[in-house]
Amino acid sequence: MSKRDELIEKYAADLKDKCGVTPDMDLLTKVTIGCGPSIYNADAATVAGSQQAELDTVKNNFLIKKLGLADGANLDAGIDAVMEKYGRSNKNKYRAVVYYLLAVHFKKESVYN
């Protein structure tokens, strides 16, 4: 099993155990691949849910640039809902899991087809 496959399994476990979501493994794989080499860097692989600068990066680089959403309060509300679902006290929020949850939240799974 490759390192990426191991990480995808870890992300799937997080979705099931911490978020109560049964992941679409095809979508999770595509989201993970879309994250690029950042998944192999301990710092870049996670999202600091309590740091506004980090949340702004998620909003600008993922929601607006990748998913093509228009900037607005609904984006912040979506990020907030995902952080709540993942568990604010959960220290390690994997970027691929956050992006997966955001893509599903905004019904933008088609971006990965």
d(CA 6, CA 4): 5
d(CA 4, CA 106): 25
Express as a percent the part of the chain with pLDDT over 90.
Answer: 92
Q: What is the mean pLDDT of the chain?
A: 96
Q: How confident is the model at residue 16 (pLDDT cuts 50, 70, 90)?
A: very high
In this prediction, residues 84-94 reach a mean pLDDT of 92
Backbone angles phi, psi at 35, to 5 degrees: -75, -15
pTM listed for this prediction: 0.96
pLDDT at residue 92 is higher than 90: no
Domain ranges of the chain: 3-112
In this prediction, residues 89-104 reach a mean pLDDT of 95
Q: What is the CA radius of gyration of the chain?
A: 13
- Report the topology of domain 3-112: Recoverin; domain 1 (1.10.238)
